[in-house]
Structure 1
Amino acid sequence: MFFGTDAADPGTERANTARRFTEYARVWFPAHSPLYAEWAEGVAADDGLLDLVRRLPADKQQPNLVFAAARFLGCPDESFPVLAGFLRERWDEVATELAVRRTQTNEPARCATLLPVLSRIQRETGQPLALVELGPSAGLCLLPDRYAYQYDDGAILGAENLASGAPLLECTTAGDPPLPDRLPEIASRQGVDLNPLDGSDPETARWLKCLVWPGQTERLHRLTAALGALTLHQREGERAPGGPVELHRGDLLELVEPLVRAVPSGHTAVVLHSAVISYLPPEVRERFTGLVRTLDCRWISNEGFFMDASGSVPRERAGMFTLALDGVPLAHTGQHGAELHWTPEGHWPEDGQQI
């Protein structure tokens, strides 16, 4: 994915910003939100709006973040001219909102693509899992055992959770993935985030809902149900299965090692992240990769790119993530959890094997 440049020339910056919006319009948005595709295409062709966006810090120029901030402030989900007028009239407010907001899309349905890997790890180790999620937002993906799942047209796994209002996460598959027949046992739920969110706070919940792209009604319903499941789980406190979700504010490079080392004997530490590492600068990404390989844990990554030990980017598939375990790519996944395509070359790594 394209992440801009530090070039000082306005024309170059404008072209780079246009390229980013064009990529989102043609790769990431079309299959999921036609309105966002229209908005991104419109911004890419509007020099005035590009000049506004290009002056934002690089990490605030992501199209879906800009659009979510506008919607949070009241921009209706209508045609591009409506968005363009809103941005021109209220840009100072949008920029102010962007200064304190992050994308932090908390998509619980990604658990459907992570679950086969989590369940396989537990089956192999025979131990409950101590989850350490990087960039957990409000922590919805730290509750994989509190949701219900249906792969293709199969039986519902975790159907007992539906009675308490948990979402049903539906996922289509290809390529013979190792689908689970039971939910994993979770021993603990830790997360590290620069800006952890309280999903029980109404304004925070409203922001998370604005991060759901227009037209994704089912996704919005899932998010609402997952926020309810999180609130219920947290109310149970220490009585909750696997204990409450505990989110730590800080840098993942500083906190991931002590959290993994604190996992007691008899539990398997699992470091996981989804749509997080892609946003880190390359040098930080490389430091993290080097660090996590030294830890006594299993490592699940689900990102829009995959880096092997040589630093190359193989096995990419436009508009999808790459799911990997301990550095071994296993599958392509839908960015919002609705698809799991086990790759023909994918193989299950032995415990501790990395590439």
Structure 2
Amino acid sequence: MTVADQYLDFAAREARGVSPAYERLAYHVASDADLLDRLATLPTPKQQPNLLFAVVRLLGGPIGDPAEFRAFTLERWDDIAAQMLARATQTNEAGRTAALLPVLASLPQPLALLDVGASAGLCLFPDRYAYRYGSRTVGAGTPLLDCTSRGFTPPTRLPRVVWRAGLDLNPLDVTDPGDVAWLDALIWPEHQHRRDRLRAAIEVARKDPPRLVRGDAVTDLPALAAQAPATATLVVYHTSMLYQLPDPQAFLDVVRGLPGHWVAVESPAVVNAGRELPPPPSAALHNVLTLDGEPLAWVRGHGEALTWFGKDIY
């Protein structure tokens, strides 16, 4: 896939109907030879639209008008490229726990949670948030996470968590203003509701900071998993993380060898290679929720919709 193709795909499948500003910018970048030439100088994982747009926002650049965005990006390219090389799309979307909750609530309790690619650790608190699946609400905490759901009965209880840890190459600190600014920049411009719940989730994490370990998803995972209490069910999980790994298969080989359970919300091309899946609900980008490698549901990128097609897990 060329750089232009990446931006066209992002505009059509991710931003359309979700972020008009990013849809416009992505189509513009895809047709702009100067911007494409500069992006082509970066490693492939660093060319992605989310990373470019977030860095421009972090540096105070305009994202409402494509012409102004272009002028800013070309003028400040050296600064932008340096930030894109140093940073990653560590979107710590607490809303994704709404997709994880049905699986977590179904497993033998209590749980020991290990989030790989944990960013600031906000997805390590599924037991502290509240969830609304249509007319049914589960939990009483904040933020309240809305998830359109089809094909399954939502859980009636929250999981009981007795141990939680995160693993990340560059963990973010919820008490560091610079890290919080980066998390904010990663939220798409029109999504004030996501910005509000980011702040609410940060307050949850600040009251009980999660244990975040700086390390590699392949080489350092087994040692951290071994620290989970034997009296709890270990659950290793990750959401929209595998595409950033240089060798996703090496990670999958490691995680499949660990005790406990493995939960993923990832691209079906990565975690379900060779499996036949039902068609997704729409042409929009969907990830797939899996439990120990078995596909269960289609999930929209920020956890805002869940379409169940797998076995009954209750």
TM-score interval, smaller chain: over 0.9
Contact 1:137 1:195 in 2 (8 A): yes
Q: Deviations over 1:93-142 (max 9, x none)?
A: 11121122111000000011100100001xxx2x3100011001000000
SS in 2 for 1:144: coil
2:120 corresponds to 1:144:
no
Q: 1:257: which partner in 2?
A: 222
Contact 2:62 2:72 in 1 (8 A): no
CA distance in 1, matches of 2:157, 2:313: 21
CA distance in 1, matches of 2:125, 2:289: 19
2:147 corresponds to 1:171:
yes
CA distance in 2, matches of 1:224, 1:89: 32
Alignment map for 1:1-355 (pairs within 5 Å): 2=1, 16-121=2-107, 125=108, 127-154=109-136, 156-159=137-140, 161=141, 166-176=142-152, 178-234=153-209, 245-281=210-246, 284-307=247-270, 311-312=273-274, 314-315=276-277, 317=280, 318-343=284-309, 346-348=310-312
Q: What displacement does 1:260 show?
A: 2.1
Q: What displacement does 1:349 show?
A: 7.0
CA distance in 2, matches of 1:313, 1:86: 44
Contact 2:115 2:238 in 1 (8 A): yes
Q: In 2 relative to 1, CA 349–261 (structure 1 residues): closer, same or farther, beyond 3 Å?
A: farther
Letter in 2 for 1:78: G
Give the TM-score, by structure 1 length.
0.84
SS in 2 for 1:187: strand
Q: Deviations over 1:161-199 (max 9, x none)?
A: 2xxxx21101110112x4111111101111110111101
Q: In 2 relative to 1, CA 88–313 (structure 1 residues): closer, same or farther, beyond 3 Å?
A: farther
CA distance in 2, matches of 1:308, 1:224: 31
Contact 2:163 2:229 in 1 (8 A): no
Letter in 1 for 2:219: E
Q: What displacement does 1:48 show?
A: 0.7
Contact 1:301 1:324 in 2 (8 A): yes
Contact 2:234 2:259 in 1 (8 A): yes
Q: What displacement does 1:18 show?
A: 0.6
Q: What displacement does 1:31 show?
A: 2.5
Question: Which runs of at least 4 in structure 1 moved beyond 3 Å after TM superposition?
Answer: 306-309
Q: What displacement does 1:262 show?
A: 2.4
Number of aligned positions between the proteins: 310
CA distance in 2, matches of 1:201, 1:94: 21
Higher Rg of the two aligned structures: 1
CA distance in 1, matches of 2:104, 2:313: 13
Q: What displacement does 1:233 show?
A: 2.1
Q: What displacement does 1:223 show?
A: 0.8
CA distance in 1, matches of 2:134, 2:313: 25
CA distance in 1, matches of 2:114, 2:214: 13
SS in 1 for 2:173: coil
Instruction: Tell me whether 223-232 or 43-52 shows the greater mean CA deviation.
Output: 223-232
Q: What displacement does 1:143 show?
A: 0.6
Q: In 2 relative to 1, CA 34–308 (structure 1 residues): closer, same or farther, beyond 3 Å?
A: closer
Q: What displacement does 1:252 show?
A: 1.1
Q: CA RMSD for the aligned pairs?
A: 1.7
Q: Percent identity?
A: 41
